Structure 1
Amino acid sequence: ITEEWKRFQPEFFSDNKYINRGISGQTTPQMLIRFRPDVIDLKPTAVVILAGINDIAENTGPSTVKMIAGNIISMAELAESNGIKVIISSILPASGFSWSPIHDPPPKILAINTIIKNYAEKNGMTYLDYYSSMVDDQEGLKKEYGLDEVHPNKKGYEVMSILVEKAIAETLSLDHNKK
């Protein structure tokens, strides 16, 4: 999801001096492995973690809700323990995957979003809710925001840009280390 954002809105990252480390198709274990060189070693003030949809699609094999949420939480804990403010993003809505036999992602998406939202709130981190602004009445990505059932289009990334800017501003203005 994040890698394609640069294609639709390259100026969003360059103008704001944001670094986009998204790699298309990666799952949370792959992200966790590269979290130190791609995040911690860069010493950012804050990190936005958007992960999980490729795990649900089983890009690297079956994954449980507990495992996916656990990997996202591990990235958040690594960031926080290194003095990086954390913004945990909801998984975007998706009704299916053209590349995967998995045909009912909404229950897993909702379960993971609930776990990571509760974790973020309990631990004084920001929870960025893309899901609510982008979901249709069938628990999928709104057609006007998607290239397909999973990936945002330019309009979808415009919605995401507004939401992430607000979350970053709020995160940088608050002391999230107080629990």
Structure 2
Amino acid sequence: MKFKLILLFIFISAGSLFAQQPDPAKKENFADDWAALTKYKKENELLGLPKRGEKRIVFLGSSIFEFWKQKDPDFFKDRPYIDRGISGQISPQLLIRFRQDVINLKPKVVIILAGSNDISGNTGHVTIEKIMDNIKSMAELARLHHIKVILCKYLPINKYPWVEIVDPAEKIIALNNEIEAYAKQRNFTILDYWTPLVDDAKGQRKDLTVDGVHPNLAGYKIMEVVTEMAIKKSLRNAH
């Protein structure tokens, strides 16, 4: 009887051990990574901390920033510019990524471009107040960690090709007014992408965009000029 109990115990233990072994054929489930932290995790590890004297700039945003390094990689080459754009992301996702993709990289400056995907309703409908809450939280985190903040006035958009929405142009303008007012109140640098790209219909100039939302190379070239000016201004104000 005792021998049978010992065999039974060994059998149960072996079965339990076997059940705990991971299935090598099973793919890892990233369903909990709503903000796509895995996208830049390895790249951040390889990047490491800034070198002595390096004035690192992080670009945090969605597709406008992600496509930028694809359209004009030379802008980011040989400069301490770190592009951390992820297509389709809304402002709370940027906020979740802020520690990994901004704070931990120890930049001198962060450029925050947020709000369009929230307005287009990619994953829900939110108010401008809620967008601003997320932008303010990111800006406050940056200031707490001695990172200079550049807040962007969003590019003009009067129609999203993938969704019907009433008056996106006016919503973008309202958001930009809130961003500008907050930036002035907190003494953050303002980067105006709206003014140099806008047409008479409060959308993007046709010669500067591929779809009314995303710039073409000519549009990015204009953005590069105003971006460089904002970075220089922000670094001048750095202590």
85, 96, 112: which one pairs with 2:175? 112
Deviations 1:25-68 (A, max 9, x none): 10001111111100001010000001111111111100111111
Counterparts of 1:24-173 in structure 2, within 5 Å, are 24-173=87-236
- Indicate the structure whose relative CO is greater, using CA pairs within 8 Å and at least 6 residues apart: 1
Structure number with larger C-alpha Rg: 2
Secondary structure of 2:78 counterpart: helix
Q: Which amino acid aligns with 1:76?
A: A
Q: Moved runs in structure 1, 4+ residues, more than 4 A?
A: none
Q: Which runs of 5+ in 1 are unaligned?
A: none
Tell me the TM-score normalised to structure 2 length. Answer: 0.72
Aligned length, in residue pairs: 176
> How far does the alpha carbon of each residue in 1:57-90 deviate from its partner, in whole angstroms, 9 at most, with x for none?
1111001111112211211111111100000001
CA contact (8 A) 1:87 1:126 kept: yes
C-alpha RMSD over aligned residues: 1.1
Tell me the alpha carbon deviations over residues 84-121 of structure 1, each in whole angstroms, 9 at most, x when there is no partner: 00000011100111111214201111111111101111
The one-letter amino acid of 1:126's match is T
Using the size of structure 1 for normalisation, the TM-score is: 0.95
Identity %: 50
